[in-house]
Each structure stands twice: as C-alpha cells, then as structure tokens.
Amino acid sequence: MATNAAAAVSRGAVLGRAGGGLARGIAVGYLSLIVLVPLAALVWSSRSQGLHTFWQEVTKPEASSALKLTVVVSLLVAAFNALTGTAIAWVLVRDSFPGKGIVNAVIDLPFALPTVVAGLVLLELYGPSSPFGVDVAFQRTGLVLALLFVTLPFVVRSVQPVLLELDREMEEAAESLGAGRLAVFRRIVFPNLLPAILSGVALAFARAVGEFGSVVLISGNIPFKTEVSSVYIAGQIESGNPAGAAAVSVLLLLISLAVLLAIGAFRHWRTRHDR
Amino acid sequence: MGITVVEVTKQFGDFVALDDVSVAIPEGSLTALLGPSGSGKSTLLRVIAGLEKPDGGQVLLGDDDVTHQPARARGVGMVFQHYAAFKHMTVWENVAFGLKVRKRPKSEIETRVHELLELVQLEGLAKRYPAQLSGGQRQRMALARALAVDPEVLLLDEPFGALDARVRKELRAWLRRLHEEVHVTTIIVTHDQEEAMEVAGQIVVINQGRVEQVGTPRELYESPANEFVMSFVGPVNKLGDTFVRPRDISLSLEPEGDATEAMVERIVHLGFEVRAELVRDDGQHLLAQLTQEEAQALELERGVIVYAKPSRQTVFTR
Amino acid sequence: MTAKYALRFGALGYLALLLLLPVGLVFYRTFEHGFHPAWAAVTNPEAQHALWLTLIIAAIAVPANTLFGVVLAIALVRHRFPGRGLVNAIVDLPLALSPVVVGLSLYLLYGTGGWLGGLAGHGIKILFALPGMTLATIFVSLPFVVREVVPVLREIGTDQEQAAETLGAAPFTTFWRITLPAIRWAVGYGVVLTTARAIGEFGAVSIVSGRIEGKTETLPLYVQSQFEGFNTTGAFAACVVLALIALATVLVMRIFRPKEEAA
C-alpha cells in the first residue's frame, strides 16, 4: 500500500514536472510572440538602414528637441510627484477626515481612466473653454498638467504600504530623545520612506516618458515647443518614415533604461542597511 | 530626580486604563511596575514619559510639574520592548542621535558614544546596522542610546520581553549592575514577577488601572496587601478564607486536628526541592513544597494519602 | 497642529484641482444640454460599434493574459529554469514602453516588409483589423496578473502544496484546489487592472488600427475622432461612458485591495 502511494506520488511528480514544463514552454512562447518578437522587429528596423541613418534620424532637430523635452519634463514631473505623492500618502495614512475612503479610492482613477479621456477632461477645465478663465492648452503647462494627472497614483501607492508598516516606536524613541516633529520626519520617517518614494518615482518617470493619449489633445503637439517623443514617433509613422520612428523609439528606450537603472542603483545603495 | 505621580487618570474610549493612580518613585531607585497584561502599567509609563497625556492628575519630575510637557522636553530616556532601533542608521549613529539632535559638538559626541558603547559592551559593533545584531545586542544599543542624553529618568517598557529566556536572565543581571554604576532613577515595566523580584528595589503592583501595593520584593512576598498581590507574586493555596504558600503547608501521614485529607496526584522534583500536587475529596487542588529530605521521610509518591495543615497563613480583612 | 491642516488641505486641494474638478466638469458638460443629446451621441451606430469593438478586444485580451499570467507566475516562482531573470524583466517591459512604441513594433512586424508581413498576402489581415488591435492590447496589458500573483505565490510558500502532494493529490488537483484558491484575490485584482488597461488603451491601438471609422475604432479612438471633428457632445458622451467604466473599476479595485487604508 505504502509503496503504491509513494509510486503514485513520484509518478505524479514526474508528470507534474513534464506538464509544468509544457505549460511553462507555452507561456514563454506566448510572451515571446506578444512582446519579444515585435520588439526585436523594432530594434532590427531601427538599424536596418545602417547606423549612419539611425544617427541621422535621431539628431534631426525636431526629433532631438522632442527627446529633450520628453526627458526633462518627465524628470520634473516625477520629482514633483515625489513631493505631492508623499504628502498625499501621509494624509491618507496618518490623518482622518470624513470621506477619506472615497479620496483613497479616487487615487486610482488616473490608472483606470483611458488616457484620451484624461486629456479631454483636463482640456475642458484648463483649456480655451475653461470656466476659470485659465488656458494652458498648447503650452508646456498643459503638457505638465496631463503628465501630473497620469502619474498621480504611482508614488502615493508606493509609499502608502510602507508608511502603514512603519514602526511608530521609532518615532516615539526619537521624540523621547528630544527630536521635534520636523526632525523626526527628516531623520527617521523620510529615510525609511525613501526607497518606496524612489520606486514610485521610477514608475512615474517611465509612464511620463511614454505618455501619448492624454498629451496628444492638450499640448497641441507644437514641434520644438510642446511635442513629445511619443507624438513625434506617431507623426513619423504617419508620414511614412517608420525606420526613423523606430530609431527614435530605440533611443528613447535606451534613455529611459539608463534613468531607471540609475534610480534603481541609488535605491539599492540606500537600502544597504537591510542586508 | 524622583518622580511623583498624583491622581492620574487615563481613559481610552470606554476603557479605563488608569484610575486615580498615585505613586512616588524615589530618586536613584530601580522600580518595577508589575502587573498582568492590560493592567495599565505601560500606560502609566508612557504618561510619565510624556507619550500619552493623562485625562486628569499630575506628573512631577523632581519638583517640576511636567504634566503638559511633551516627551521631547522632559529629558527622559526610554527603551522599548521591540527595541525601536533606527534601522537605517548604524549602531554608532543610533547612540549618537540624541546628541546630534541637541547639536552637541562633534568631539563631545565622539567621546560620549565611545564611552557608552564600552559601557554596554558593543564597542566592536559601532559600524553595524541593527539588522545585523542579535536581540540582546539591539537592546543594549537601545539602552546606550537612551543614556546618551544623560536623562534624569530611565524608562524601560518590557525591555526583555522579545528575547529568549537565557538572554533575558543575562540582561536582568546586567541591568542591575548597570544601575549600580549609573544610578539613574529607573522604572521598568514587566508582567514577569520573577523579573521584578530579581531586578527591582521597589515594586509597584498594578491591576486594572489601580495600584494594589508598593513595597520591596520581600515586603510584597511576606506581607501582601490583598489576594491579588499575594497570588500574583507567587503560587498560593486558598483554603476557605485563608491563603497559604506552598512552603507553609506541612504534611503528615497521620490526621491531626483539623488537617485536610488529600491524595498525592503528582510529585515533581525541582532540584533540591519537591513540589507535591495534591487533590482533596471535593476536587480542590493544593500545592505543597517540601525539601528532598521531608519528602523522603514521608515516602511521598503518587496515590499516598496525606494530611495537610498550614504552618502559616494569611487572612485579608476587607 | 496647523501643519496638519495645511497638509490636509494642500493634498486634498491638489487632488480636487487635478482630478475631481476636471472629471466632474466633463460629466456636467455632457449633460449640460439635457440627457437626450448625450444619449443620442452614444447610441448612434458608430459609437455603438466602437463600444462593441472595445469590449470584444477586452474579452479576448483579459482571459488570455489571465491564463498565461497565472501559468507564468507559477513558472517564475516555483521552477528554476535558465533565463528566469530575463523572462521576469521581459514581463515588466510593457510597463516601461510608450504605447506608441508598442504600436510601432507591431506595425513593423506585421506590415509590408516586416518579418510576418507575408501573412497579409495569405489573407490573414493583422494590421488595420481586429487581430492587430487585439495583439496590441494584449501586449500593453500583459504584466498585471503576473505581477500581482508572483509576490503572493512567494509569500504563501510551498508548504500547502507539498502537504497536498504527500496526501496523494495529482499536480493538477493540487493546483486547482490549493494553489488557485490561495491566489484568487491577487488574480482578481490583476484581472481588474488588466481590464482597465485593455479598455482604456489608446496609443498602441491607434497606430495599429489605422483608425478606420466605423470599422477599427475603439471607444477611446472614437473620443478622439469626435473631438477632432468638433462633435464635442459626442466626444464627451463617449468620455462619460469610459469614465463610468473607470469609476466602476476603481470601486472594484477597492474591494480587492482595501489594505492601503490605515486601520
């Protein structure tokens, strides 16, 4: 009896491993077909006309201007989010007021709302038909506004769980040692929140760099002024220059990767005390 | 600096944590606040620390009424059960924290931190992070950190609760020695009566937000104020209205006067003492403690019928 | 104390100006001229087709990504295989990519001259048709189920699964009765995120679909075309539909993940 059961288990284990291997293979195949192969085609196409053409395409004035604008604005927006995101997370965790649950739910809205709808709603409130008389459409401010909208949840949701788990006794200990409220935040709370803030900033940056739907309506896509790379790339496709579009895409990807790696390395260095 | 607590009350919603508590802690003493979970002892400590504001009453440090002062202004050093180590700072930075916040000059900080690390025997570990230390080491660091700012008062909230038994014993002895060296007024909160008896010079027994008794370990053991204190501080038999310590039950094989008849259920050998678990006809259990010789003389073993009589007993007048 | 109120009103004010007022305004503008024009704007055949198309794509993309997401998550956590780290990184890629770049890569792959461009010659139309749009949507919404399930799988460990195995359960039984129930909240949350992303996708689908009105326009694309055609009521009405779906999504997200609030 016992040996039969043992044999069944080991048979099952072998089958399981074989079946698991098959499922794994299919899943990896799925991943390749959906993600890897198209991206490979992209990279290939960007080099298909030689490195010289690649370089030409990415140094075109309009392209490099768009690239510069995209990276700078995304960094600014991500950094601004570090501030506002942390403040909002703080209020949601440490403060209490009626309707807090609703506010907490609403944070996810930019994530659930289609980007084109986000662009349109911002355009309505802060564009030509604004009831406030404010008009930031077709300007960089409009661009920044759209990016702030879509990147809102990242730092907040990254910081919230960490703030919740934070050991209050650490803050009390610091207080008993003579630290005022600001010192407690600066020396105790903030350093422990920093890794989460950086994660959120990285996510926000990655999102901002590639944002299209919300930006395409409100920024006016004016070359050299408010045209971001994603819009430029779309334009290149439309004008029948897919290779050029591919070149700029690849460069944009590389720059994003570099920034994300830098943030990741900084975060890794800051959390060395946990290892 | 001595501490005086005057008629302090504190409520959390409907729950009364402290009910008109008054206590005087002498300067330079090592006092234990002893009581079961939920008795209010931690709350009292936190009120003294300034981490909780009392609903009524006063807290005096020396002659100063600090009732409305926040923790950072009181000059108390506090040690928490779960260490509250600043996990993003090294041991050195942890201990230096209070001094840095007070903006002391760098050289002063250097000397003081080294001094303290030596005191708590953590010199070699200054550059480590709390995550790399054992529980006992973390708690010693926490003590050094609290002492760094020369507090008038040292408050310890169940400091050894998170440590295993052997380390706990070591640190208890170590704390006693430290107190003898440093002589700061110290209050330690604990639910462990053995710990309180071993470590403290004075014990305040607290139950359900009220002070039951204040005294030395010996006073508490020999002259308990009521049933609660007596049974909290050690095992006790209740015979009708009287309370008898296991050591004060004398057993014999012959019935004597109004001695109670009981059967031996179990014999436990505790080194050179023997604990006899007895059961009466009416089902009540008694605990007697005898020396090895006494037990042998009676040839005590399971099933033997004995007659128990208190050689000393305590009655509490209400 | 005033710092507390300043922070609270600052944070809430920021949220109101950035989030609540704009969304509220669009609801207002849509129904400004009454319910009927708005209703007519979303019940015309074009709008209906757009909604239908959006839902069909989501109905394909979400189950596909859920199924493969769970399988992939188990493979990543429970099995060691060469290239595991790489697979992990690839799964996260769609989050870092601009939707336009996603659309472009599909355009390059399936278009004339691309590696799979020959498919069109055999009558299998990928670009400017449903298959391409679905592939684009699957691409951008791929990571969510995997990313939600992986940490949960790691946390619960293999103890329960091993116990089931010693009790004689076949691998599939173990999966069905032990593993799946343990991860169902994570899967649910992942499904909600995937659905939101699939319905709201704009950039990638825009490039891959050619935006042929009445044929390859999803609802988000419809919003843009209406807006650019100065049919603002139509655009807003479609926005409201999408916003309502988004609000429902947000509510369901709260059900699956209430733990971001302090006790």
Nearest CA distance, B79 vs chain A (angstrom): 8
Distance, CA of C71 to chain centre: 19
- In this predicted structure, what is the pLDDT of residue B152? 87
CB B312 within 8 A of CB B244: yes
- In this predicted structure, what is the pLDDT of residue A16? 57
- In this predicted structure, what is the pLDDT of residue A13? 59
Strand partners, B1: none
C-alpha–C-alpha distance, residues B42 and C242, integer Å: 54
Nearest CA distance, A266 vs chain C (angstrom): 19
> What percentage of residues in chain C have a pLDDT greater than 90?
33
CB contact B131 to A (< 8 Å): yes
Residue of A nearest to C1 (CA): A181
Same domain assignment for residues A150 and A251: yes
Mind listing the pLDDT tens digit for each residue in C217-262? Answer: 899 999 988 888 888 888 888 998 999 899 898 888 888 875 544 3
First to last CA, chain B: 36
CB B314 within 8 A of CB B222: no
C-alpha–C-alpha distance, residues B311 and B290, integer Å: 13
Nearest CA distance, A188 vs chain C (angstrom): 18
Same domain assignment for residues A248 and A130: yes
- In this predicted structure, what is the pLDDT of residue C136? 94
CB B211 within 8 A of CB B217: no
Indicate the angle between helix axes C84-96 and C143-156, nearest 10 degrees. 130
CB contact B98 to A (< 8 Å): yes
CB contact C119 to A (< 8 Å): no
Mind listing the pLDDT tens digit for each residue in C159-173? Answer: 888 888 788 778 788
Q: Please state the domain count of chain A.
A: 2
- Which pLDDT band holds residue B99 (cuts at 50, 70, 90)? very high
Contacts of B78 in chain A (CB under 8 A): 172-173, 176
Tokens of B300: 């005590």
Out of C11, C109, C245, whose CB is closest to A87? C11
CB pairs under 8 A between A and C: 273
Question: Strand B153-157 to strand B76-79: parallel, antiparallel, or no bridges (unpaired)?
Answer: parallel
CB A129 within 8 A of CB C217: no
Chains near B (3 or more Cβ pairs under 8 Å): A
- What is the helix (H) or strand (E) element at residue C253, kind and residue range? helix C232-256
Out of A110, A148, A210, whose CB is closest to C101? A210
Q: B11: closest CA among B189, B209, B155, B157?
A: B209
ipTM above 0.85 for this complex? yes
């490099």: which residue's tokens? Answer: A64
Nearest CA distance, A195 vs chain B (angstrom): 11
Q: C97: closest CA among A192, A257, B114?
A: A257
Same domain assignment for residues A122 and A16: no
Same domain assignment for residues A20 and A124: no
Interface touch A24/C23, C-beta < 8 Å: no
Mind listing the pLDDT tens digit for each residue in C120-144? Answer: 777 778 888 899 999 999 999 999 9
Same domain assignment for residues A25 and A106: no
Interface touch A273/B131, C-beta < 8 Å: yes
Tokens of A256: 């994003």
Tokens of C53: 């198309």
C-alpha–C-alpha distance, residues A108 and C256, integer Å: 13
Mind listing the pLDDT tens digit for each residue in A158-213? Answer: 999 999 989 899 999 999 998 988 999 999 999 999 999 999 999 999 999 999 99
b/e string for A45-54 if b means 16 or more Cβ within 10 A?
Answer: bbebeeeeeb
- In this predicted structure, what is the pLDDT of residue C261? 40
The Cα-based distances of B268 to B250, B271, B281, B305 in angstroms read: 17, 9, 21, 17
Q: What is the largest CA-CA distance in chain A?
A: 84
C-alpha–C-alpha distance, residues C101 and A246, integer Å: 8
Same domain assignment for residues A41 and A143: no
Mutate to test the interface with C, among A67, A80, A117 (most CBs of C within 10 A): A117
- In this predicted structure, what is the pLDDT of residue A5? 56
Looking at the structure, give the CATH architecture of the domain made up of residues C41-258. Answer: Orthogonal Bundle (1.10)
A with B: touching (≥3 Cβ pairs within 8 Å): yes
- Residue A113, classed as helix, strand or coil, is coil
Q: B163: closest CA among B187, B142, B178?
A: B142
Interface touch A36/C139, C-beta < 8 Å: no
CB B199 within 8 A of CB B217: no
Task: Give chain B's mean pLDDT.
Answer: 90
Percent helix, strand and coil across chain B, each to the nearest 5: 35, 35, 35
Same domain assignment for residues A164 and A182: yes
- Which pLDDT band holds residue C1 (cuts at 50, 70, 90)? low
CB B128 within 8 A of CB B53: no
Same domain assignment for residues A43 and A56: no
Same domain assignment for residues A6 and A117: no
C-alpha–C-alpha distance, residues A185 and C85, integer Å: 37
C-alpha–C-alpha distance, residues A264 and A266, integer Å: 5
C-alpha–C-alpha distance, residues A179 and B102, integer Å: 8
The Cα-based distances of A222 to A138, A232, C77 in angstroms read: 7, 10, 47
Out of C96, C206, C261, whose CB is closest to A206? C96
Out of A173, A183, A273, whose CB is closest to B80? A173
Decide which of A13, A32, A48 is a domain's last residue.
A48
Out of A169, A191, A192, whose CB is closest to B80? A169
First to last CA, chain A: 48
Contacts of B97 in chain A (CB under 8 A): 174, 177, 179, 187
Mind listing the pLDDT tens digit for each residue in A14-50? Answer: 555 666 677 788 888 898 889 989 999 898 888 887 8
CB B47 within 8 A of CB B97: no
CB B72 within 8 A of CB A178: yes
The Cα-based distances of C34 to C38, C218, C239 in angstroms read: 7, 25, 16
- Residue A136, classed as helix, strand or coil, is coil
Mutate to test the interface with C, among A37, A80, A121, A132 (most CBs of C within 10 A): A121
C-alpha–C-alpha distance, residues A62 and A46, integer Å: 18
Report the amino acid identity of residue C181. Answer: P
Out of B49, B86, B98, whose CB is closest to A178? B98
Strand partners, B76: B153
Out of A176, A191, A274, whose CB is closest to B71? A176
Same domain assignment for residues A155 and A182: yes
Nearest CA distance, C22 vs chain A (angstrom): 5
Residue of B nearest to A275 (CA): B131
Higher pLDDT, C133 or A269: C133
Interface touch C93/A35, C-beta < 8 Å: yes
Contacts of B49 in chain A (CB under 8 A): 176
CB B276 within 8 A of CB B305: no
CB contact A87 to C (< 8 Å): yes
CB B126 within 8 A of CB B92: yes
- In this predicted structure, what is the pLDDT of residue A275? 57
Interface touch B146/A188, C-beta < 8 Å: no
For B168, phi then psi, to 5°, come to: -60, -50
Dihedral sign for Cα atoms in the order A47, A51, A52, A54: positive
- In this predicted structure, what is the pLDDT of residue A188? 93
Assessment of whether the complete model's pTM goes beyond 0.90: no
Tokens of A29: 């195949």
b/e string for B198-232 if b means 16 or more Cβ within 10 A?
Answer: ebbebbbbbbebbbbbbbebeebbeebbbebbbeb
Residue of C nearest to A15 (CA): C171
Interface touch B88/A273, C-beta < 8 Å: yes
Same domain assignment for residues A36 and A64: no
Mutate to test the interface with A, among B48, B81, B86 (most CBs of A within 10 A): B86
CATH of the domain at A211: 1.10.3720.10
Question: Strand B314-315 to strand B273-280: parallel, antiparallel, or no bridges (unpaired)?
Answer: unpaired
- In this predicted structure, what is the pLDDT of residue A183? 92
Interface touch B129/A273, C-beta < 8 Å: yes
Decide which of A16, A32, A48 is a domain's last residue.
A48
> What percentage of residues in chain C have a pLDDT greater than 70?
97
Domain boundaries, given as residue ranges, for chain C: 41-258
- What is the helix (H) or strand (E) element at residue B309, kind and residue range? strand B305-310
Mind listing the pLDDT tens digit for each residue in C202-220? Answer: 999 999 988 776 678 899 9
For B61, phi then psi, to 5°, come to: -105, 110
Q: B75: closest CA among C22, A202, A177?
A: A177
Interface touch A178/B129, C-beta < 8 Å: no
C-alpha–C-alpha distance, residues C68 and C146, integer Å: 8
Mutate to test the interface with C, among A10, A15, A26, A35 (most CBs of C within 10 A): A35
What is the 8-class DSSP label of residue C177? Answer: I
Tokens of A234: 């779309």
For residue A150, what are the contacts with CB-CB under 8 A and spacing of at least 6? A110, A115, A118, A207, A208, A211, A214
Residue of A nearest to C200 (CA): A114
CB contact A158 to C (< 8 Å): no
CB contact C223 to A (< 8 Å): yes
Interface touch C203/A115, C-beta < 8 Å: yes
In the sheet with B249-252, reading across from the earlier edge strand, the strands are: B249-252, B305-310, B260-270, B273-280, B285-291
CB contact C47 to A (< 8 Å): no
Same domain assignment for residues A94 and A24: no
Out of A24, A87, A107, whose CB is closest to C81? A24
- In this predicted structure, what is the pLDDT of residue A3? 58
Q: Does the pLDDT of residue A123 top 80, yes or no?
A: yes
- In this predicted structure, what is the pLDDT of residue C260? 45
Out of A173, A180, A187, whose CB is closest to B78? A173
Residue of B nearest to A177 (CA): B98
Nearest CA distance, B162 vs chain A (angstrom): 14
Q: Which domain holds residue A66?
A: 51-274
